[in-house]
Chain A
Amino acid sequence: MLARVTTFAIDGLASSRIAVEVDVRRGLPAFTIVGRGDAAVRESRERVHAALLNSGFEFPQRRITVNLAPAHLRKVGPGFDLATACGVLAASGQLPLERLERWAVFGELSLGGELRHCRGALAVAEGTRRCGLEGLLVAHECAREAALVDGLSVAGVGTLRAVVAVLRGGEPPPLPRELPGPAPATADPDLDLADVRGHPDAIRALTIAAAGGHNLLLSGPPGIGKTMLARRLPSVLPALSRAEAITVTRIHSIAGLRGGGGLVESRPLRAPHHTISAPGLVGGGALPAPGEASLAHHGVLLLDELSEFSRSALEALRQPLEDGHVAIVRGQRRVVFPTSFQLVATTNPCPCGLAGSARCRCSEGDVARHARKLSGPLLDRIDLLAYMQRPRADALDSAARTSSGQIADAVAEARERQATRLAGTGLLTNAQLSPRLVREHVSLNATAAAALRQAYVTGTLSARGHERSLRVARTIADLDGSARVHAEHVREALGLRGQDGAAGADAERAA
């Protein structure tokens, strides 16, 4: 007898429908799985066998052939266990077929018959909905995540017996309460800018970065608080929209960063260690998996000690930064991962970190080498550079600290102004403005234009830096609620101007 069960395989960031066909017929007892499965799929036989018997079902002593179709797709992971088990039960007459034909099942089985959590429940639920099926059966840890998809009945169950009960027409159990996940992949909501003492200029730079979506480089001596500040960027960013949150949840679920729980609510903050490889950063692997840049999608990618990262890893970030997505090609497969993140990097200004002070021990050559490590296409994409120094004593004592909440309000208003101005372009922030759109949307008054021209003429700015300063000045004007860009906006933007990758304006003038 033949049974056909629907499940899904994770394919990049989406899911592909897989038909699990189980054929049970007379012959020498055997259990074969075909259809390009990996080791986890082959081992599935033992789990299914034991789970059926331990759940009190009969394992047919016949010739069982399982086919995972379509056969050209590689199938990876233990998510096919449940479909295989259901197929065996149906093909041996222990389970009616009618509901099984309208529902998809997805999950790993333990030997005792418990259903285990699998990566990518949200993508699977979206696939189920797309295929027009009625419902989805998953492990109860994944249920809240799968239930984010509207118009789909989701049953989160704990055991194979409960699965069978639902498929026999029983009522699906209610969704479980929120479960504690593993280590949070998103920003810690307890981090607040009010914890930072001093550094009003760096906080200002952070505010501008948040308001305009600009990438930010924090440069300063060791221990000054660069990382502490950078980790607080998500606390001033606007909340994720529902669509953004769904995307982030899908990516994090497929990467295995989420145990249970529903929607990811705060913006992700990813801070990979500087030993990370290029594939680790942008995604890769034999079966392409998202990298840190994708895990930071709609959030913040923090590169601590930028100069320590390998050249190849930083070069690989170029396309993702430029395009907001990255295409990974492996064999005949091409997978596109979204990588629209905000970059925050920290660095020492020179190898000893004390550049500019009398205690700096670095020679000009050391400093140049250090700058060269940082240079390149990455710096061209960083609009803002804030130097951090030891705060003065009265700044430390100052009672008036700005909380993240206050800044977040200002940021939200500035973002709203940008969204209104950019309506129809598909863009959301000033940082995304192309040179053409900069000309269109950034209107300077006469004194502002004069200040910028002067900066260009004196060599303070390069052509590229000119462009970046325009974008930043636009954001500062947005924070100010001003429709036109005034001279003081331009000047502040110049005070926070970044360095140039190719022919560093600063470096060249330091000659």
Chain B
Amino acid sequence: MNACEDCLRRTALIGRLAPHVERARRRHRHLRELLTLTDDELIVALGGERRSELKRAHETFDVRAARAEIERAGLQAICRHDERYPPRLLQAADAPAVLHVAGELQRLAALAFEEAAAVAVVGARRAGLDGLEVARGLGRGLAAAGVTVVSGMALGIDSAAHAGALEVGGPTLTVLAGGADVPYPASKRGLYRTLVRTQAAISEMPPAMAPWRWCFPARNRTIAGLASLTIVVEAAERSGSLITAELAQELGRAVGAVPGPVTAPRCAGSNALLRDGALVIRDAQDALDEALGIGVASVTATAGRRAAALEPPLRTLLREVSDGRDTVAALAATPAQAQAALAGLAELELLGFLRRGPGGRYLRLG
């Protein structure tokens, strides 16, 4: 176990103070101010009547029990004094004291070490299907170029970005609002399992804690802190993703947004970011140019090379799909052609060039 006692003590305190923070937030106390306070200041600021009780609990903190609990939850913990703690995150004054990691610790180091580029892809939970596809494409293109895709596993854009990165085998890192052993939202259990098995999920909250409302903006500061570039795909006017963008900006990191229709309320926030000077991100290539420098990595180069190795009929089929004839109905006029198209599309799917999407439309990958 690698987290030091003081950091674990603070984590336990934050866990215990969670309901107090919730109340304080309702009284408009700024979350970031709170999280930069020292332990004693925190107790004074938030403890209210229970101040002395909390103080006692804080002083009699049992580090062995805390460590045992982390181990029981199948997690590992590193604190900010650990050399494996993501260095980029340390630049933030309010960086979490402890990161609980579900998945292997070595992988976290690989996902978030200093030289590894990391891009956060965040956005609306209620997103349009095209927004989801953009997020998935960003996840895929960034991950394929070896850039870690950081997001929050929320419904909608976040999960789509993770899923896209997983399609090419990662790297991707998820930051959870509750305990790192709690898949939230529960409907993303399957995604969580895959992420933990092959990537990593982290959280600053103690194990088994269900997320409070304030935990989400707190989580967002971790996402922003981990990434050198934060991309908002779709965000309505008052969206948590805008908080992530704001936090990234405060840390001096780059912020980008994917343009959406000006008439769509669900894109109003992301479009407003663009007006305020955020980078325009149209696809993974834009994101790569921004994260790694123009021309360093190319999305199409690798895919193009692989496609060139295909047999001629499959190459033709793939080109047709890329040109928008992306359904069997659009590819075949006779039963014999349909038979060939079905088999060919399935083969391209198995080779990882295509994916059968909603309504039986085939989507070009990577």
Contacts and interface: CB of A to CB of B under 8 A. Distances in A.
B363 to A, nearest CB: 9
Interface stretch (A124-132, A172-180, A260-268, A354-362): A354-362
B191 A357 contact: no
Contacts of A445: none
A181 B336 CA distance: 41
7 contacts: A198-B333, A203-B335, A349-B358, A387-B328, A389-B327, A398-B334, A494-B350
Contacts of A492: 339, 342-343, 346
A454 interface: yes
B156 interface: yes
Interface stretch (B27-35, B121-129, B200-208): B121-129
Nearest to B343: A491
Contact of B359 (A355, A391, A460): A355
Contacts of B359: 219-221, 349-350, 354-357, 360, 387, 389
B159 A357 contact: no
B163 A458 contact: no
Nearest to A451: B350
Given A494-B346, A495-B343, A511-B162, A390 B335 contact: no
Nearest to B133: A356
- Determine the main DSSP class of B at the interface with A: helix
B306 interface: no
Top-5 shortest CB links A-B:
A387-B360, A356-B359, A495-B342, A356-B361, A355-B359
B156 A389 contact: no
A508 interface: yes
- A200, A367, A488, A508 — which one has the most chain B CB atoms within 10 A of its CB? A200
Nearest to B363: A356
Interface residues of A, number: 53
- B155, B190, B349, B360 — which one has the most chain A CB atoms within 10 A of its CB? B360
Interface of A: 198-201, 203-204, 207, 219-221, 349-350, 354-358, 360, 362-365, 367-368, 386-392, 394-395, 398, 400, 402, 451, 454-455, 458, 460, 488, 491-492, 494-496, 503, 506, 508-511
Interface of B: 126-130, 132, 155-156, 159-160, 162-163, 187-188, 190-191, 327-330, 332-339, 341-347, 349-350, 352, 355-361
Contacts of B347: 451, 491
B349 to A, nearest CB: 6
B126 A365 contact: yes
Given A349-B358, A389-B360, A201 B342 contact: yes
Nearest to B162: A511
B261 to A, nearest CB: 11
Nearest to A452: B350
B360 A349 contact: yes
B236 to A, nearest CB: 12
B130 A200 contact: no
Contacts of A510: 163, 357-358
Contacts of B339: 204, 492
Contacts of B355: 509
Contact of A356 (B328, B338, B357): B357
B183 to A, nearest CB: 12
Contacts of B343: 488, 491-492, 495
Nearest to B342: A495
B190 to A, nearest CB: 5
Contacts of A391: 329, 333
Contacts of B334: 200, 395, 398, 400
B8 to A, nearest CB: 33
A336 B350 CA distance: 45
A386 B163 CA distance: 25
Nearest to B192: A511
A494 B349 contact: yes
